[in-house]
Structure 1
Amino acid sequence: MSPQDLLTHLDQGRLWGAPPSADPAFDLPTAYARALAVRALRQARGEVPRGYKVGFTNRTIWPRYNVFEPIWGTVYDSTLAFCEGAGTVSLAATCQPRLEPEIVFGLRATPVPGATLAQLFDAIAWVAPGFEIVQSHLPDWKFQAADTVADGSLHARLLVGHQTPVHELAVGAAQLDALLAQTLVVLDRQGQSVEQGQGANVLDSPLRALHHFLNTLRACPGAPDLMPGDVVTTGTWTDAWPVQPGDHWSAHFSLPGFSLSATFTA
């Protein structure tokens, strides 16, 4: 599929006819190049990149989806929304949408080359709860890793909750790393608990997931670096749950002030 084909299916919320990975030559480097070409098309029509999503950091769900390594893709101004604890998210033109509770970082600076965890901490402005709405343009969420990357790394929407300055949570990287790793989340649908997760599920902590992503991003030919003001969402703490218009979902993290709810519309 050409970049324009991928963008057309994305805009229309239509399933693909066949996976790009049906071609044995379609590997992960090819998929990232294709995704960056789609990014260029979206920018050409006026969409503004606002950061990145990191996916498949939760090792507990790798066998479920047959993807065994993290992936990443672009978040745009057209897919990103902020709220102070409760928001509304449209599912228009999404394809088989699912919901993921995550931790989102906001950057105040570009991390230095070869950044350590401590230097990465110094580049973070804030931390927030988030809901990423992910989607798949292949039936029944059956794909290979390269397919997911070509599919915008499955990104559809991102709702970011209240932003807590990072220095209100921790004095340094080691403390933030441990705090987020130990944090729990309870995910509710229509007021009923459906699953519990923990920060350690995502590459041992969201801070470590962010660090892994930074190194992966910088190793990808043509990929733009992290910039001040970028947001990065670091992967689901639970399974990805199907979501539909009319649903009301909440995520309650065991950090004070870290709760988020969303109502979904067509």
Structure 2
Amino acid sequence: MRKEAQELYRAEKDKIVLRPFTAKYPKIAPEESYRIQLALIEMKKADGAKVVGKKIGLTSKAMQKMLNVDQPDYGHILDNMVLPDAAVFLAGELIQPKIEPEIAFILDRELTGPGVTPTQVLAATRFVLPALEIIDSRIEGWKIKLCDTIADNASSARVVLGNSPKRVEEFDLKLIGMVLEKNGDIVQTGAGGAVLGHPAVAVAWLANAVGQFGVSLGAGEIVMPGALCAATDVSAGDLLQASFDGLGTVSVRFA
């Protein structure tokens, strides 16, 4: 698995794309793909990066349809992936970026699966934030299947966090509406219920998934539960802003 992780590491560094692992290894399983991902994360940690959270991918029907998969996956958020609201980001740092609006969870206490429920997730949440995830694929043309994106750290790249924290008791996350604008034009709309029915359901799924391997979601961690709509292509010169009912706005400009 280390060879494949090294290929992904170099692809990200050198801005090149790879042939899908599922094309090279048709029988590759999710468990093997997660081992590739973990090896990749260890390489990045050796460079000085720190894990500050986790992301869940493919939680909405829109994203599952877009990438032709039928279940969620997860990846790691590193400290060098996190950007502030209204950041200006160089599009050339990525290969084929897209953007997804999400509701970020900041945990107040540890969650350890199995058996974690959405109610327990909400009780363990310090606050939520409006957020944007910038995703990218090191696989040619986004021609990915589930195991390709798992290996590629769930196609993650950057996370943009808003600066208007809200407690979860203030509203029903399922009912939060969202409008995504690109250069002033509305390009996507969505709601919290698009994320496995409720964003807290996705976080519970993650806690239980990693709990199988003796891993917990830690206090203070960022958890990105998945997109409220399909991903939107971005390029240099674009300004993306997501507005959430009751949560506020978050934006990023691509230079």
Give the TM-score normalised by structure 1: 0.89
Asked if 1:99 corresponds to 2:90, the answer is no
* Residue number among 181, 186, 202 corresponding to 2:174 in the alignment: 181
Residues in 1 aligned to 2:128 and 2:73: alpha-carbon distance in whole angstroms:
21
Deviation at 1:165, TM superposition (A): 4.0
Counterpart contact for 2:178–2:189, Cα < 8 Å: yes
User: Residue 14 of structure 1 corresponds to which residue in structure 2?
Assistant: 16
Asked if 1:71 corresponds to 2:64, the answer is no
Q: Deviations over 1:132-169 (max 9, x none)?
A: 00011223211110000111110000001024242xx4
Asked if 1:190 corresponds to 2:192, the answer is no
Asked if 1:134 corresponds to 2:124, the answer is no
Deviation at 1:195, TM superposition (A): 1.5
The residue identity in structure 1 corresponding to 2:187 is V
Q: Deviations over 1:159-206 (max 9, x none)?
A: 01024242xx417xxxx5xx1111111110111111111111110011
What is the total number of aligned residue pairs between the two structures? 251
Asked if 1:125 corresponds to 2:113, the answer is no
Following TM superposition, the consecutive aligned residue runs of length 4 or more in structure 1 with deviations greater than 4 angstroms are: none
Q: In angstroms, what is the RMSD of aligned CA positions? A: 1.6
Counterpart contact for 1:21–1:27, Cα < 8 Å: no
Asked if 1:259 corresponds to 2:252, the answer is no
Q: Could you list the runs of 5+ residues in structure 2 that have no partner in the other structure?
A: none
Q: Could you list the runs of 5+ residues in structure 1 that have no partner in the other structure?
A: none
Deviation at 1:112, TM superposition (A): 4.7
* Residue number among 222, 241, 247 corresponding to 1:250 in the alignment: 241
* Residue number among 48, 51, 54 corresponding to 2:53 in the alignment: 51
Counterpart contact for 1:206–1:234, Cα < 8 Å: yes
Task: Give the percent of matched residue pairs that are identical in Structure 1 and Structure 2.
Answer: 28
Deviation at 1:67, TM superposition (A): 1.2
Describe the SS at the equivalent of 1:2: helix
Q: Choose 86-95 or 23-32, whichever is displaced more.
A: 86-95
Counterpart contact for 1:112–1:119, Cα < 8 Å: no
Deviation at 1:94, TM superposition (A): 1.1
Residues in 2 aligned to 1:117 and 1:63: alpha-carbon distance in whole angstroms:
25
Counterpart contact for 1:126–1:163, Cα < 8 Å: no
User: Residue 144 of structure 2 corresponds to which residue in structure 1?
Assistant: 143
Q: Deviations over 1:90-142 (max 9, x none)?
A: 33431110010001000111025533323222221110011100011223211
Q: Choose 187-196 or 60-69, whichever is displaced more.
A: 60-69
Q: Deviations over 1:64-106 (max 9, x none)?
A: 21111101000101111233xx332333431110010001000
User: Residue 26 of structure 2 corresponds to which residue in structure 1?
Assistant: 24
Give the TM-score normalised by structure 2: 0.93
User: Residue 205 of structure 1 corresponds to which residue in structure 2?
Assistant: 198
The residue identity in structure 1 corresponding to 2:116 is A
Residues in 1 aligned to 2:102 and 2:165: alpha-carbon distance in whole angstroms:
15
The residue identity in structure 2 corresponding to 1:140 is G
Counterpart contact for 1:12–1:93, Cα < 8 Å: no
User: Residue 152 of structure 1 corresponds to which residue in structure 2?
Assistant: 153
The residue identity in structure 2 corresponding to 1:246 is G
User: Residue 169 of structure 2 corresponds to which residue in structure 1?
Assistant: 170
The residue identity in structure 1 corresponding to 2:249 is S
Deviation at 1:19, TM superposition (A): 1.3
